[in-house]
Amino acid sequence: MNKVTALVSRSRSIGGGDNQRMRIMYTPTNRSGPEYEIEADRHGNYAIKLNGKVIRRVSALAHYLGKPRWGSRKLEADAIEDAKRDIEAFNAHAA
């Protein structure tokens, strides 16, 4: 069973803009291996880190019809789920 620990890190950027990110620690299923850190923002961008080093960074589409200007929690949650799938695929390939 996988283990997820949520570490919520919210910060404001300079200039009044809102740069919110969610950080979680994730351990893949069926593995007692390393714990990955996932950082996602409300625009759908995410980064996967292992031991503090970025091993994968994904940027969402910059513009599309109907994209929320300030992002959304759904985009953030979808980015986290995508990152989890990437980790699982990486571990399945490495095994």
pLDDT digits (tens, 9 = 90+) for 64-79: 787 778 888 998 999 9
Residue with tokens 């404001």: 12
DSSP secondary structure string, 34-87?
A: PPEEEEEETTS-EEEEETTEEEEEE---S--TT--TT--HHHHHHHHHHHHHHH
pLDDT digits (tens, 9 = 90+) for 27-61: 988 766 789 999 999 989 999 999 999 999 999 88
**Dihedral sign computed on CA atoms, order 39, 37, 56, 2:** negative
Domain residue ranges of the chain, discontinuous segments joined by +: 3-94
